[in-house]
Chain A
């Protein structure tokens, strides 16, 4: 009975969780633009935003005087929080594997990203294969288990990759006698994707035929469920997004032709450093583009890149985001300034620049009804910065996800001495233990 009462009390306490962030400069990235005022958070959702927000009794008040608040940053392309290799690189079509199976909630990169204001990440398979593995969207709920990280309701994706990576990854290491993996050319990459979809179309027809027979009252043996083709079938049925790693304009057009031929959509072109050359075609297809800020020339196929890529594509009507491609969370932790570069390169407005890492990736991932801007009804994923968030000098002070505080810079700093002491204690214990073992049992 006591337990039930306690549970009821806890449930009540959770329900009554109300937080108010006061006196902040709020870049809402919504219709309200940038305002001075408060945000009321109730039950993990944004309940009110404005100049005059009444503080309910019992609410936790965060005074953000002189500070800034932005929506949680969203990284449309990351490789953090993955246990084991991020590539199932043994085969050219690895759509049977799923990042969701190997989410590692203990990866310190999650905490790094969080400390840099990131609240949502699109965790992608690597780019070693023409068609890679299944992908998953997570929230940076540091401390939760793997299941607790998954962004509930976000549509899963499938990674594609064009160009150097998929054609190069099949080459055996020098001195190895491993056989060459097909394809080794850009032509071969196109052929690999087409062959896979030919198989997927046949597979889908087989299942459709089975479904028709069942609904006609027959009892045929069901076809073999093939995890590789199952994911491609979901792409054909629009149940799974395609996120395609690419660089060159010709390949971007090639993939659009494949998608048109087989009747599916590319959700995002990733990296897409020559996207500025074919922005109209990308926009016409309805695809988004998730690019790097000002990187170029790190391999042959990136020599035609420009830091103006994001601004040019956006001006042609492409939905653009800027991503980190991070495996360790380092660059992920400063996506705010990666976005700010679009102000210098291309003259974007402050709000549009910040949207490159908030609202736009939310739209690309199909989760803009939940996150991406500070508007009533959306998840309370909020970042409090001490300074202008588009400045090099800004540091995230507190990060809220679903209204809960998952990062607090002051608490992190004040907790360090305790953690160091704990570590020294354990080291000392181990030393004594070893010394005793050398002496032998008494």
Chain B
């Protein structure tokens, strides 16, 4: 089995190499295809022309240019490339140290002044490894871009918007700074300040107070440095001040209330991520009219595997599991802007199934597509270049046979920056549980 997979892999590599070696066509035209533009009405039969990494034209009566490589789109549907709104793809995973007992990597902090668990100045785009295997799996599920974030500590660092293909990181980064990812990361006493949830919240509050003070002191020094002690350079605050928005975690409705209030107190443009209990009317009440977009995790809660069969969860937990996948539908009905994120899912089939589950729980397919294309682009303020099939936007597309996220639908190709990628053939045998194929 392993060997066969290896062979398939080698074959793929050879094919890729051949594709690269051929002279690049100056343009690609996909004609006679159904085109779901997302920004406007779907085109039942039309043509989309791509040139030099951009969408040159799209419409019913567009003739393919003479120099274009023409793809017959009969029976195919073209969507904007999918975007993972909060991702770790391409970010090297942390060393597998235990979360609890392991020695802390940084010296013990005795207060907020030590800037514990803070790497706010780091940018994801500077960390990504272009050969990350997860890019391939994600592309095979139709993803072409991702908002990737560093994922350690409390102030994790700034996210970058990347395309999921490129020779080197510089080719991949679309927007280097998307905002600051904040995690409410708790630890045992001995690991230093902050340890409890309330300590973490207090630390974040102190950082923003310090940032205000830092700005004021620097301004005063800039005006007249003579006779004034120079302000200390503080990279933690520099990183925070550079971030144009923050991302705060909130899964339970209680956390959604807490973080909505906290974001208002911090006066930072905020995106909430998690949203397991987005289905709860109280969540919607707290989010309504707040101009605070949310990111919904695609990792739906599941019953723990292999546990004692006598253990039964509480009604509360069972309800969460049953209703979490209906959160996107509820948020959509309430008019709260939302996008999906992978939350650690990195296998092609798992990604497809996770989206399908939201559709099975009441979200329309159109809304699901939007939550993976134009909505994330709008949330991050890049809808002028990404997220829909419009003239002038970046040529990121996914082409399927059948409607996207259907059980039997096949992703025929993805196009990233105008370059075509063909998915690896599905593993032989049944299209069963992808998770079982994990090493």
Contact = CB atoms under 8 A, between A and B. Distances in A.
Interface in A135-157: 145-147
A138 to B, nearest CB: 14
Interface in A409-442: 419, 422-423, 426-427, 429-430, 434, 437, 440-441
B197 A83 contact: yes
Contacts of A221: 213, 216-217, 220
B197 A102 contact: yes
Contacts of B257: 145-147
A91 B202 contact: no
B9 interface: no
Interface in B206-234: 206, 209-210, 213, 216-217, 220
A135 to B, nearest CB: 11
A19 interface: no
B178 to A, nearest CB: 27
B41 interface: no
A178 B196 CA distance: 17
Interface stretch (B91-99, B183-191, B368-376): B183-191
A315 interface: no
A251 interface: no
A85 B195 CA distance: 8
Contacts of B202: 88, 96-98, 101, 227
Chain A interface secondary structure, helix, strand, loop or mixed?
A: loop
Interface in B74-122: 101, 103, 108-112
Contact of A430 (B101, B210, B321): B321
A228 B197 contact: no
Nearest to B282: A145
Interface in A86-134: 86-91, 94, 96-99, 101-102, 104-106, 125, 128, 133
Given A147-B261, A429-B322, A89 B195 contact: yes
Contacts of A133: 198
B319 interface: yes
Interface residues of A, number: 52
Contacts of B18: none
A84 interface: yes
B252 interface: yes
A176 interface: yes
Contacts of B216: 221-222
B201 interface: yes
A85 B312 contact: no
Interface in A7-25: none
Interface stretch (B135-143, B159-167, B242-250, B425-433): B425-433
A228 B111 contact: yes
A99 B322 CA distance: 31
A169 B216 CA distance: 39
Contact of B254 (A83, A169, A178, A437): A83
A3 interface: no
Nearest to B205: A227
Interface centre among B191, B193, B252, B262 (most CB of A within 10 A): B193
Nearest to A440: B432
B108 A179 contact: yes
Interface in A175-224: 176-179, 181, 221-222, 224
Contacts of A173: 190
Interface string B316-330: 101101100000000
Nearest to B206: A227
B126 interface: no
A2 interface: no
A347 interface: no
A90 B195 contact: yes
A263 interface: no
Contacts, number: 139
Contacts of B52: none
A172 interface: yes
B315 interface: yes
Contacts of B252: 106
A106 B312 CA distance: 20
Contacts of A125: 198
Contacts of B103: 177
A299 interface: no
Contacts of A104: 254
B153 interface: no
Contacts of A430: 303, 318, 321-322
A179 B193 CA distance: 13
B191 A423 contact: no
Interface centre among B201, B202, B205 (most CB of A within 10 A): B202
A426 B433 CA distance: 23
B150 interface: no
Contacts of A179: 108
B407 A88 contact: no
Nearest to B104: A178
Interface centre among B198, B213, B316 (most CB of A within 10 A): B198
A181 B282 CA distance: 42
B194 interface: yes
Contact of A88 (B199, B286, B321): B199
A90 B198 contact: no
A209 B339 CA distance: 50
Contacts of B108: 178-179
Contact of A97 (B109, B196, B319, B321): B196
Contacts of B315: 419, 422-423, 426
Contacts of B262: 101
A437 B433 contact: yes
A350 to B, nearest CB: 40
Contacts of B253: 145
A426 B111 contact: no
B258 interface: yes
Contact of A96 (B112, B261, B286, B303): B112
Contacts of A91: 110-111, 193
Nearest to B113: A226
A137 to B, nearest CB: 16
Nearest to B107: A179
A426 B312 CA distance: 11
Interface string A71-86: 0000000000011111
Given A225-B213, A227-B202, A426-B318, A85 B254 contact: no
Nearest to B110: A91
B201 A101 contact: yes
B189 A440 contact: no
A98 B414 CA distance: 50
Contact of A84 (B186, B192, B213, B220): B186
Interface string A388-416: 00000000000000000000000000000
Interface in B277-335: 282, 286, 303, 312, 315-316, 318-319, 321-322
A225 to B, nearest CB: 5
A112 to B, nearest CB: 15
A227 B198 CA distance: 13
A90 B200 CA distance: 12
Contacts of B206: 96, 226-227
Given A90-B195, A177-B103, A178-B191, 9 more contacts: A85-B198, A90-B189, A90-B199, A96-B111, A145-B254, A178-B190, A224-B209, A226-B206, A434-B303
Give me the 7 closest cross-chain CB pairs, A-B, nearest first: A84-B197, A178-B190, A85-B196, A88-B199, A89-B189, A426-B318, A97-B198
12 contacts: A90-B192, A90-B195, A96-B111, A96-B203, A101-B201, A105-B254, A106-B316, A128-B189, A145-B253, A226-B206, A227-B209, A426-B318
Interface of A: 82-91, 94, 96-99, 101-102, 104-106, 125, 128, 133, 145-147, 169, 172-173, 176-179, 181, 221-222, 224-228, 419, 422-423, 426-427, 429-430, 434, 437, 440-441
Interface of B: 101, 103, 108-112, 186, 189-199, 201-203, 205-206, 209-210, 213, 216-217, 220, 252-254, 257-258, 261-262, 282, 286, 303, 312, 315-316, 318-319, 321-322, 407, 430-433
